[in-house]
Structure 1
Amino acid sequence: MRIDLLRHGTTGRDGYLDGRTDPPLSELGWDQVRRQTQGRIWRRVVSSPLARARVAAEDYARQTGCALDIDADWSELDFGRWDGRSRSDIAAAPGGEASLNAFHADPTIRAPNGESWVDLRARVTRATDRMLAKSEPAPVLVVTHGGAMRAALSHLLGWPLRQLWSLRIRPGTRITLESGQGDDGVAWGEIVEIIQP
């Protein structure tokens, strides 16, 4: 199965931990999504329920008539009390920089009242395995978030979560994967293409 993972376009809030905080796409963000989807055909689109991903997925589905599924497991990481705050603001608080560094270094550490990267990968693994179980021959577009894309790559390619920061996934990035499940039910994938905005 071919899966295209598309990070929503920019919201103009670089440097902020916007997990469940849901700012709208900027005009540049809309342009990024349109460039990544223009002239391409998917029979089905799967989207995070967060508006910055969902509205673009709905727009594409409306224009092409393809099926659209909203799947909460493709939501961005829940940053808990950090959600919606800038990294610099969090780091400036007593112990904040050490907490942020630990959170990014150890995938088992949860954001305060939020999720860990391991939690996110478990959600995205469920979502990915549901798609693969349908065995659709047609390509699927998943409109989601940077963290969820990293979690999918970890699951499908076997990459350790600690190493995923070595791949830059800017807003509007599209990663095409060929993927499936072996006879043992284990998911696999290979990167076919990475298109940065």
Structure 2
Amino acid sequence: MGHKSIYIIRHGETDYNRRGVVQGSGVDADLNDMGRAQAQAFFAAYQHVPFSKVYISALKRTLQTTQPFIDLGIPYERHTGLNEISWGIMEGKVPGNVDDEYYRDLTESWASGNTARSTEGGESPEQVRDRQKPVIDLILSRQDENPVLVAMHGRAMRILLSWLMNEPLSQMDNYEHSNLCLYKLDYDYETGQFTIELANNTAHLISLVMA
């Protein structure tokens, strides 16, 4: 049956990331200078990988992150199922004291197992998982596409990794991430199991840290 390699990356930095503003699905921000440099650094490190397809969210920060690969002629698809969680009323805000308390209460509620609780005006982790599943099913159904590159978002990535590893969504915060980090996964078609080969890897960004 074989194996499939899936490279999952978080998008590069935006000014909203730098300022601590909540983006979610409702803020469609561009990469900033650092984000574009991160995208180029990742491309420099992984342009040798013969990606069959690039899968991105419907938000332009994932398109801009993977543009160097797309410019090589690698086909790509945009899927709203890969979008960031909708943070509802939090989107576009710089968290203040009241917002910090709301966010902390929400994430503690998720960690305690209440992953059906949605953000006010937004989504729950379970809703995000349910919209991710058809996209992953589609990717896995295309066995001839190997390897593939998937660009997405921080909270959505945590949710995705939790259920791919058959863990409860309450454990999602165990999956750390940073801008333009890489999780490399191997999928075994015979067992139907994923293995994480690289986690929150940022070795490709070392030149930016040292600059």
Which residue in 1 is equivalent to 2:23?
A: 18
Which residue in 2 is equivalent to 1:127?
A: 135
1:13 Cα shift?
2.5
Residues 1:8 and 2:11 are matched in the alignment: yes
1:182 Cα shift?
4.7
For 1:119-147, what per-residue CA distance to the aligned partner results, in whole angstroms no more than 9, with x for missing partners? 11111122111100111252000011112
Distance of aligned partners of 1:90 and 1:36 in 2 relative to their CA distance in 1, 3 Å threshold: farther
Distance of aligned partners of 1:103 and 1:17 in 2 relative to their CA distance in 1, 3 Å threshold: farther
Write the letter of the residue equivalent to 1:30: R
Distance of aligned partners of 1:137 and 1:59 in 2 relative to their CA distance in 1, 3 Å threshold: closer
Paired residues, number:
191
Residues 1:179 and 2:187 are matched in the alignment: yes
Distance across 2 between alignment mates of 1:48 and 1:193? 22
Structure 1 unmatched ranges of 5 or more: none
Which residue in 2 is equivalent to 1:74?
A: 82
Distance of aligned partners of 1:107 and 1:40 in 2 relative to their CA distance in 1, 3 Å threshold: farther
Residues 1:55 and 2:58 are matched in the alignment: no
Q: Which residue of the other structure, out of 148, 152, 161, is the alignment partner of 2:160?
A: 152
Distance of aligned partners of 1:70 and 1:6 in 2 relative to their CA distance in 1, 3 Å threshold: same
Structure 2 unmatched ranges of 5 or more: 206-211
Which residue in 2 is equivalent to 1:44?
A: 53
Verify the 8 A CA contact 2:52 2:145 in the aligned structure 1. no
Q: Secondary structure at the match of 2:15?
A: coil
1:103 Cα shift?
5.1
* Backbone CA RMSD of aligned residues: 2.1
Q: Secondary structure at the match of 2:23?
A: coil
1:157 Cα shift?
0.9
Which residue in 2 is equivalent to 1:83?
A: 91
Q: Percent sequence identity over matched residues?
A: 24
Verify the 8 A CA contact 2:57 2:151 in the aligned structure 1. yes
Distance across 2 between alignment mates of 1:100 and 1:129? 29
Q: Which residue of the other structure, out of 29, 38, 42, is the alignment partner of 2:35?
A: 29
TM-score by length of 1: 0.86
Write the letter of the residue equivalent to 2:10: R
1:12 Cα shift?
3.1
